[in-house]
A and B are shown apart, each in its own frame.
Chain A
Amino acid sequence: MSLAILLGAALAVVCVVLVALPFLREPDPASDELDELTPERRQRLALAEERDRALAALKELEADHRAGRINDEDYRASIGPLRREAAEALRALDR
């Protein structure tokens, strides 16, 4: 019984130390603000996602065409808009 209580108390102490660790490590930090995506960085992230999406779609279209899943007619109809999307996303990201 006493061993169980001792172990229980030790567990509680270890947990409290772990929880308090950020405050023990930095009792007086220069900044306690959470780092956050600014609106500009969020915009860049959205553009980067857009660019990756367009490039992935282009890559997939090429692969589908090479493999014969898409015929020449469908390929020609799709490749133009996809290239434009990718170029727009890249331009926006470069600005």
Chain B
Amino acid sequence: MQEKIIFLADLFKNQALGGAELHDDVVIKYFEKKEAFYEKINCHLVTTEYIEKNLDKIWFISNFANLSFTSIALLSKKAKYVIYEHDYKFIDVRNPIHFKDFLVPKRNIINYNFYRNAKKVICLSKMHRKIFQDNLNLENIVNINCSMWSDEDLSLFEKLQHSNNQKDLFAVIDSPNPLKKTKETIVYCENNSIPYELIKSKKYTEFISILSRYRGLIFRTNHPEPTPRVAIEAKMLGIKFLSQKHLISVAHEDYFDLKGLAMIECVRKMRENALKKISKWCNE
């Protein structure tokens, strides 16, 4: 890599432990290792002056809900940037579920030229990309095939392969975040006589360890998930993953039938391929 990268996101791993932040951290570490990393900055701290000072860098833009409209405009006008998309920020309501076949009426589309002027818009799976492509019809939309995990995290999944404490219950994520649909999932389990327990932890490794003790994970969602990470995490642990297939993007990937060590190895290989692709896309 020749040009240095500024990594832009609403939040980073040290500020929140969401899927996007965990995923982004793997990419940041990769840029650091390749000595391509300049710095990371929260979107709300970006000013037009900061942009003007750093036009010689490549901007790697992850979640940008807190990026000011003028910064979006100026980046579009002057900067070389890649958008690393974790959801659907081309839609004013940020969720295509409201529209038949996920085809969004033109009047609901926003940020059109921000996406158009990007070197690449990187989606996280084939289905995620298709939704972007069907709506924006741009030539710069590409995809990787999965979220990413660090080697440390993958080692954890390896260690937890044969947990002796298998509970004959399904886990349901206990979260106050309405997007996580805890209440709806409970109702779903009760209506379908699925034995379940609520699980939670603020520590990622602890959460995964807890999850490994269950027969499977019940996951309900109300938007087409670009991956989601927990689907692959359940698969890497070798436990069942039950959800609405039409809303789970990775369920449409070729590798989704894998589980346990085979899935871990596949995720590792996909990560290496994805990072090489990202590096190439940044420098094109």
Verify that A and B bind, or say they do not: no
